[in-house]
């Protein structure tokens, strides 16, 4: 078994983190960004072969940046064989809110196509390492991924308490549900090439900005920070335009 480690390195502005993954067998998976420096935020034992398969040729783990996830979701997928994640990264609450632990296309927030494919390859090729669990079927598929309102509820329970004011929770869920629908339409327009990557980024940024402003009006500044771990005026810092444009080949 190898040791898989998740690293966090400060992004522009310094309040949110980019994440990447390394192994004790000298693999480095950049997760669409920087792949050196920073600090180790999680470590676990698991199959480096499976992690490499999950990462894919470009270390993006099947994630389309800002469409089905961010670098945090990429890192979580690669770290899955070790059973750890990068939830300690600054800004993780923001990306988890939009895309969940393993990305938008993860069924039941736990399995996804590349995991199924790589696990089958590992089993067929006899590459499974003794002492590590097979990931295929380790948890039964749970249907469609949780929605943004559902993930928001989880975060409120964990960070603000299960008895958080029901009227505020209802209002927050309403805003989240509206954005869920708008995000669906935006992703559909992107995949069908009705909008360019730059247009997608512009519209998604505006969508996120409006949503976080609505959240702040309900939560207040202090509870916003407790919920997301980031001051509201820095809630969009994780959306690095240069990182996005590099990933999507934009020239703007």
Q: Could you report the per-residue pLDDT of 92-115, keeping only the tens digit for each?
A: 999 999 999 999 887 765 789 889
Q: With bands split at pLDDT 50, 70 and 90, how would you rate the model's confidence at 144?
A: low
pLDDT at 229 over 50: yes
What is the C-alpha end-to-end distance of the chain, expressed in Å?
43
Residues ≥6 apart with Cβ < 8 Å to 94: 16, 228, 230, 235, 238
Q: What percent of the chain has pLDDT over 90?
A: 78
Mean pLDDT computed over every residue of the chain: 90
Instruction: Identify the burial level of 197 via C-beta atoms within 10 angstroms of its C-beta, where 0-12 means exposed, 13-18 middle and 19 or more buried.
Output: buried
Q: Could you report the per-residue pLDDT of 169-228, keeping only the tens digit for each?
A: 999 999 999 999 999 999 999 999 999 999 999 999 999 999 999 999 999 999 999 999
* Closest by CA position to 82, among listed 129, 116, 38, 125: 129
pLDDT of amino acid 110: 73
* Closest by CA position to 238, among listed 1, 24, 4, 31: 31
Strands 17-23 vs 2-10: parallel, antiparallel or unpaired: antiparallel
Domains of the chain by residue range? 2-125, 148-248
Report whether 46 contacts 83 (CB < 8 A). Answer: yes
């Amino acid at each position: 078994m190898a040791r898989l480690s998740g690293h966090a390195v400060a992004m522009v502005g310094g309040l949110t983190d980019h994440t990447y993954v390394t192994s004790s067998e000298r693999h480095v998976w950049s997760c669409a960004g920087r792949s050196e420096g920073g600090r180790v935020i999680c470590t676990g034992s698991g199959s480096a072969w499976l992690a490499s398969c999950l990462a894919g040729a470009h270390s993006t783990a099947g994630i389309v940046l800002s469409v089905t996830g961010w670098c945090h979701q990429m890192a979580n997928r690669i770290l899955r064989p070790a059973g750890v994640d990068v939830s300690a990264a600054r800004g993780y609450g923001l990306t988890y809110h939009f895309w969940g632990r393993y990305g938008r296309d993860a069924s039941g927030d736990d399995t996804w196509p590349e995991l199924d494919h790589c696990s089958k390859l590992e089993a067929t090729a006899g590459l499974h390492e003794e002492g590590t669990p097979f990931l295929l079927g380790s948890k039964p598929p749970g249907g469609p991924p949780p929605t943004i309102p559902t993930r928001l509820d989880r975060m409120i329970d964990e960070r603000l308490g299960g008895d958080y004011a029901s009227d505020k929770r209802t209002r927050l869920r309403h805003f989240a549900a509206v954005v869920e629908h708008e995000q669906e339409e935006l992703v559909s327009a992107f995949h069908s090439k009705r909008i360019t990557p730059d247009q997608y980024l512009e519209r998604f940024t505006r969508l996120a900005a409006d949503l976080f402003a609505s959240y702040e009006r309900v939560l207040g500044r202090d509870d916003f920070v407790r919920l997301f771990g980031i001051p509201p005026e820095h809630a969009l810092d994780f959306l690095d335009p240069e990182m996005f444009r590099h990933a999507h080949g934009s020239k703007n």
